[in-house]
Structure 1
Amino acid sequence: MSAWMNATTLLHGGCAALYAALTVLIFTQARLSRTGTLLAGACIVTAGWAAAAAMASHAPFGLIAGILDLLRPAAWCVFILHLYRRAVKSGRQRGQAFMMMGMVAVLVASVMLLLGRVSPGGAVSLWSIWVVGRLGFAVCNVLLIENLYLNTPEDARWHINLPCVALGALSVYDIALSGDTLLFRQISPALYDGRALATAIVAPLLAIAAARNKPDWDVNIHVSRTAVFHSATLVVSGIFLLGLVAAGEAFRYIGADWGGVAEVSLIFAGIVTIAVLLTSRSARSHLRILLVDHFFSHRYDYRREWMRCIATLSAPDAYVALHTRVIRALAEIADSPGGVLFLRERDEAAFQWVGSWNMPAAVAPVMDDHPLIAAFRDGDWIVETAPVVPDLSGAWLAVPLNHGGHLTGFVLVAPPRAAFKLDREVFDLLRIVGRQVATYVAEQRATEVLLQTRQLHEYGKRFAFVAHDIKNVSSQLSLLLSNAETHLENPEFQRDMLATIRASVQKIGALIKRLQAPESQISQAVIMPGQRLEAIVANCRRLRGAAVELEQDGRTAGVAMAPPAFDAVVTHLLDNAIEAMREAQAGEPVRIALRHEARRALIDIADNGPGMTPEFIRDELFRPFRTSKPDGSGIGAFQARELLREAGGDLLVTSRPGGGTTMRLLLPLVEAPAPQAATATA
């Protein structure tokens, strides 16, 4: 007896928990209609009955369980009747009157049966009323479900199949239990406990029915497709293993000598078979399509599909190239194992192969006049390739990539792992995802074009810088040539001329190397700006005969900058200062001052020339190819500032009309400045 009570408690308690969870889902995830309210009410009554039955050994739960056991089929009867009125047109409800008459007949029969069981003392058997009442409601439910199914059009039966099966099975079980009770004058413990298990078994069917009928029932219960798939997989696997066990028992019964071996072998083979099927994408695809076709109103879980698509497209390029991700995003929607991507630029006459996923690369391009392009209808139509373009072997569907009203490409999708019927839902989803994919492709192309433009810009900037430096070298050589006519016989001039030519050749070689190598590959070096300034000033005095004064603060510290770049910046700014002094006919020298601060070096190149207006400095000085000099290139100041900024520094300008100009070079130090014994002035 104790074991029976334990089984009764466990089974009915589990059933109560299941229907309580279903009720919570209905109330928390939906704005209930009348149908949803009746469904939730029937679930509440069922959960209450199961909970009371689980504690029936404790008063007063036994009495409550008996009352709710009678109300439970009545609640489902009300729900079925309401569903019947919603699902069947008013002109086809001819069975409703008969059902009401049947319910009255059941009540009359119950009373008659009750009168026949009156005791001699005149007491009425409440137990008989309870049993007959349950039997009457069960019979009414079966008849009502039969009328509901028969009077529903065939194309609409898909919506009521599951509730009819679930509630019909429960009603038949109730009839069997009540009949057995009346026949043997006692409740069968096995049938009583089995009813709780049967009630729990049909709960998922009711949940799925509510989920796929939510547009009509207004009950927004979400049944996870993944959970349904995994549950179905477990059920199928369990049935398969039970069949193998039964076969093994049969072998054992037939042949005692080898029956045990056959049973073990069958079970092992079955486990291996199940493992193979579970790891087979084709088998899982067939099962998924079977579940989708029979348990869900929509083929796709759109939230899951959209999140998967975005995750596939936005994966880092380090793992999978964009072309492969584009194909996968579209192919996986159709459960396809592969595909091919074709793209074209706006000015191209054909679509070129750019990538494949689990399919061979296409050698021949697809021309604009190909039948497939016309079948796309300006990029808004999914094409089944077999009847349109039989030359594209291995392809099943062609999905256009439409971006901004232009057909930028298409994806050829391989046949699916498990065949299914193509409908508008599949085409619409592929069309929408195709447009999203086209946006990603266009974004990558724009990024590539921007990168190429930036590379060309960097090359053009280097070329302009090199051309400007070559102009400076040419000016030095021209000045050297003009002085050679006067001082060629002077041995000291000859030595200076050879040194200048040698330095010019080295500088031109460095400029050519700089033009060929990217800016990032030009090696930086730690230089002492004081030493470089001394050499530049000495060279300027020797070649140009200009008056230049160099003043240093007596400290030394290195800066990280390529020596040719540093020399080019200082030489250009110094030449500009000399030209400004000559233009103003000022007799004062150009002054260069080197000072060190805590973390940077400051180099001032000052002249007393005509100066510049603030507007000129703001709008013209650092703008490429803008110059006020007849033979200028307009690139020098811009180049000087860019080279300093690449070294981590900057170029500041202080000037006023008629008051001269000071160009301040700022460069970060790479080591702390150390004091020097004496101040060097040149």
Structure 2
Amino acid sequence: MTSIAVYSYSVAAAAFLLLGVLLLALWRGGAHVTSVTAACALTALWAGAVAWDASHGPALSAWTEALEIVRNGAWSAVLLLMLGNYRDPGSFLGLRRPVLLGIATYLLLLLGNLVLQFDLMYKTSAGLVPNVMVRVCMAVLGMLLVEQVYRNKTVQERWMVKFACLGIGAMFGYDFYMYTHAMLFHEMSPEVWDARGLVNALAVPLIGTAVKRSKSMTTPLALSRRVMFHSAALLGSAIYLLAMGSAGYYLRFFGGDWGTLMQVVFLCGALLLLAGVLFSGAFRAWLKVFISKHFYSYGYDYREEWMRFTRTLSEHGPNLGERAIEAVAALVESPGGVLWQRRANDVYEPVACWQARARQSEPAGSNFCRFLENTQWVIDLHEYRALPEKYGDLVLPDWLAAFPRAWVVVPLILHGKLFGFVVLQDSRSTVALNWEVFDLLEIAGSQAASYLALQDAANDLMVARQFESFNRMSTFVVHDLKNLVSQLSLMNANAEKHRDNPEFQRDMLDTVTHSIQKMKMMLQKLSRNDAPVKPLPLTVDRVVRQAIALKDAFEPRPVLRVENGGLQVLADNERLERVLGHLIQNAIEATPKSGRVTISVRRDSGSAVVEIADTGSGMSEEFIRERLFKPFESTKPAGMGIGLFESREYINELGGKLELASAPAAGTTFTVSLPLYSEEARSVGQAA
């Protein structure tokens, strides 16, 4: 080592010693001050020992290297205290197993260092590699702890710990760089080693700032299972790669002419094996179960599990049954299952499969279904085969006994009734089914049942709406048939008196022909294959004359006045004639034979206006407001109460308005305003 190392590590020793004194003097009441002070003292002692060794020779003493291990352990302990979740009252010394394992590992490293007395600086034989690998592992562990501390803090808490994470992370990060550099070149770089002391000294103000801010650093935190899972996978991968790198080094060192070839092939095979393990569903399942068993008092992170469960069920698209199976199966790492759901014939039928197959149905009155509904238990089939008496008088159906790899039956309970059930296959890894798993599966089954019931209700509602639409159309058709029957009945009543009148005979033939045409059109509309009718330009006065011609047999006969002829609107001829004919029919029926029904056609701004006025009995404001346009409300003995409702709906559909003015004993005037036809209106109508 050079004299630069003496000054570098002396500066580091002085800086950490000063920080320790400040911690004891000024911030004694702060969080984790004791642990940080101890770590600063050990770091100062280590840096002073390195500076002493550098001033007396090129090699480090075994005690100096041992102090480095103690210093790494001290800062790892500080990070662990900041992280929290390290206590377990039921274990040795009240600490969790991983913490005890870490302490034991550091003690073994310390003992091994004192016994073997590795030389880090200039030992280039095979003895350098294992010692450097150990230091790399300690640096990786320190960086992982730094990452965990920062990730698991809230936004407010990160303001307090970010400088501590930067300072401690810088020390471990520089160690990682220095030792991996030594592994790569098989010797320690003197320049990198000399700079290490000053780099450590740069962390002092960062750590001091963090301690000053740390009045609330003692907030207990629950380590996220997702973070723990990825960190464990990362740490395991790092250890595996280091081990494989070491093995490859020895293959090259002892392999002679074949050494390089053996090293390359071995490392490629090791990488492929690592990729296969990381992409293995069984391995991921085993790791999750292992972490839940040994690091947490509860087996599930309920927030994460419920968010994932709800997200799976709420995905847009079909196949809700398959997603329900997948969501429930993921709770116990099951690779597949089948969903049975109750149908109208009181039989539970398989309605969805996820990576499994089943075709057998189960009667709702069977012993199996009654047991699920009465007890609402999750059935562990393996336990049933070993201890059938635990399940009382339960008798499994034959098809379930033959179900491949059947493991768990989860009932789907809705409003206290068995809505369905899910049969899951054996999990990818060993999952102990305890009270916590059973409770979670039961509530997940109820949640899945609510989603499936909501889907069934939506499907039933869609079918009901289709029937409603068909029934509504049928109601309008019946209303039109009633009007046609009224016309034919009136002609039949007058046939005895006017049968020899040629003019009556012509009117009768025209009316019958028109009625037949209308009935044919109505039958076409009842057909589901009938294409929607496109609106066409119609001459208003011509449509009004057609509607009046059908009312010639009634009295008083309507009188037509055309003030502006040739006005065109965009509409369906049959529907517009029916609407106007209904308004004319109502005016005739409300007017005595001695009264008058007057129909006028005129232009008003950009609209064609049809005004139908009568001198009948009129209507009150209350009747107009509350009953006139209400469907299925009628004052006529044989009326259906949908004529005016249909008229207003179609006029609004055309972009027009239906207005009226009426008073008791003063008659009624209906005013229909329709937008005049233009090329622009026609293009809009065709696009629609």
Instruction: With the length of structure 2 as denominator, give the TM-score of the two structures.
Output: 0.69
Alpha carbons of structure 1 residues 241 and 88: separation in structure 2 relative to 1, 3 Å: closer
Specify the SS of the correspondent of 2:420: strand
Partner in structure 1 of residue 365 of structure 2: 369
User: AA paired with 1:326?
Assistant: A
Residue 201 in 1 paired to residue 199 in 2? Answer: no
Instruction: With the length of structure 1 as denominator, give the TM-score of the two structures.
Output: 0.69
Paired residues of 1:210 and 1:221 also in contact (CA < 8 A): no
> Which of these residues, 561, 583, 590, is aligned with residue 573 of structure 1?
583
In terms of mean alpha carbon deviation, does 336-345 or 511-520 score higher? 511-520
Structure 1 residue 668 displacement after superposition: 4.6
Partner in structure 2 of residue 623 of structure 1: 630
> Which of these residues, 339, 346, 355, is aligned with residue 349 of structure 1?
346
Structure 1 residue 657 displacement after superposition: 0.9
For structure 2, the 5+ residue unaligned runs are 17-28, 55-63, 153-216, 385-394, 682-688
Q: Deviations over 1:28-56 (max 9, x none)?
A: xxxxxxxxx99833553366568878998
Alpha carbons of structure 1 residues 648 and 428: separation in structure 2 relative to 1, 3 Å: farther
Partner in structure 1 of residue 615 of structure 2: 608
Identical columns (%)? 31
Partner in structure 1 of residue 32 of structure 2: 40
Q: For residues 147 and 245 of structure 2, what CA distance do their matches in structure 1 show?
A: 32
Residue 419 in 1 paired to residue 430 in 2? Answer: yes
Partner in structure 2 of residue 262 of structure 1: 262
Residue 229 in 1 paired to residue 229 in 2? Answer: yes
Q: Deviations over 1:248-293 (max 9, x none)?
A: 4555556535443333222222222222332222222223222322
Alpha carbons of structure 1 residues 196 and 473: separation in structure 2 relative to 1, 3 Å: closer
Alpha carbons of structure 1 residues 594 and 434: separation in structure 2 relative to 1, 3 Å: farther
Alpha carbons of structure 1 residues 277 and 166: separation in structure 2 relative to 1, 3 Å: closer
Structure 1 residue 480 displacement after superposition: 3.5
Alpha carbons of structure 1 residues 338 and 638: separation in structure 2 relative to 1, 3 Å: same
Alpha carbons of structure 1 residues 316 and 199: separation in structure 2 relative to 1, 3 Å: closer
In terms of mean alpha carbon deviation, does 325-334 or 220-229 score higher? 220-229
Partner in structure 1 of residue 663 of structure 2: 656
Specify the SS of the correspondent of 1:223: coil
Structure 1 residue 193 displacement after superposition: 13
Alpha carbons of structure 1 residues 178 and 455: separation in structure 2 relative to 1, 3 Å: same
Paired residues of 2:558 and 2:596 also in contact (CA < 8 A): no
Specify the SS of the correspondent of 1:477: helix
Partner in structure 1 of residue 199 of structure 2: none
Specify the SS of the correspondent of 1:590: strand
**Alignment length (residue pairs):** 562
Alpha carbons of structure 1 residues 207 and 334: separation in structure 2 relative to 1, 3 Å: same
Partner in structure 2 of residue 590 of structure 1: 598
Paired residues of 1:557 and 1:671 also in contact (CA < 8 A): no
Q: Deviations over 1:331-379 (max 9, x none)?
A: 111212222122225x64222222112222x333211233432332536
Q: For residues 270 and 554 of structure 2, what CA distance do their matches in structure 1 show?
A: 98
Specify the SS of the correspondent of 1:396: strand
User: AA paired with 1:229?
Assistant: F
Q: Deviations over 1:606-631 (max 9, x none)?
A: 21100122232233333343322233
Q: For residues 2 and 674 of structure 2, what CA distance do their matches in structure 1 show?
A: 92
Paired residues of 1:557 and 1:669 also in contact (CA < 8 A): yes
User: AA paired with 1:337?
Assistant: P
Structure 1 residue 416 displacement after superposition: 1.6
> Which of these residues, 323, 329, 332, is aligned with residue 330 of structure 2?
332
Residue 162 in 1 paired to residue 94 in 2? Answer: no
Structure 1 residue 324 displacement after superposition: 1.8
Q: For residues 150 and 299 of structure 2, what CA distance do their matches in structure 1 show?
A: 16
Specify the SS of the correspondent of 2:352: strand
Specify the SS of the correspondent of 1:399: strand
Paired residues of 1:557 and 1:673 also in contact (CA < 8 A): no
Structure 1 residue 201 displacement after superposition: 2.6
Q: For residues 605 and 341 of structure 2, what CA distance do their matches in structure 1 show?
A: 58
Q: For residues 87 and 633 of structure 1, what CA distance do their matches in structure 2 show?
A: 78
Alpha carbons of structure 1 residues 577 and 430: separation in structure 2 relative to 1, 3 Å: same
Paired residues of 1:649 and 1:667 also in contact (CA < 8 A): yes
Partner in structure 2 of residue 471 of structure 1: 482
Q: For residues 459 and 579 of structure 1, what CA distance do their matches in structure 2 show?
A: 29
Q: For residues 423 and 641 of structure 2, what CA distance do their matches in structure 1 show?
A: 54
Partner in structure 2 of residue 307 of structure 1: 307
Partner in structure 2 of residue 563 of structure 1: 573
Alpha carbons of structure 1 residues 87 and 163: separation in structure 2 relative to 1, 3 Å: same
Q: For residues 503 and 633 of structure 2, what CA distance do their matches in structure 1 show?
A: 40
Partner in structure 2 of residue 439 of structure 1: 450
For structure 1, the 5+ residue unaligned runs are 17-36, 90-147, 675-682
Q: For residues 149 and 377 of structure 2, what CA distance do their matches in structure 1 show?
A: 34
Paired residues of 2:629 and 2:645 also in contact (CA < 8 A): yes
In terms of mean alpha carbon deviation, does 287-296 or 548-557 score higher? 548-557
Partner in structure 2 of residue 291 of structure 1: 291
Q: For residues 479 and 628 of structure 2, what CA distance do their matches in structure 1 show?
A: 15
Q: Deviations over 1:111-150 (max 9, x none)?
A: xxxxxxxxxxxxxxxxxxxxxxxxxxxxxxxxxxxxx83x
Alpha carbons of structure 1 residues 220 and 552: separation in structure 2 relative to 1, 3 Å: farther
Partner in structure 2 of residue 632 of structure 1: 639
Alpha carbons of structure 1 residues 440 and 666: separation in structure 2 relative to 1, 3 Å: farther
Specify the SS of the correspondent of 1:308: helix
User: AA paired with 1:201?
Assistant: L
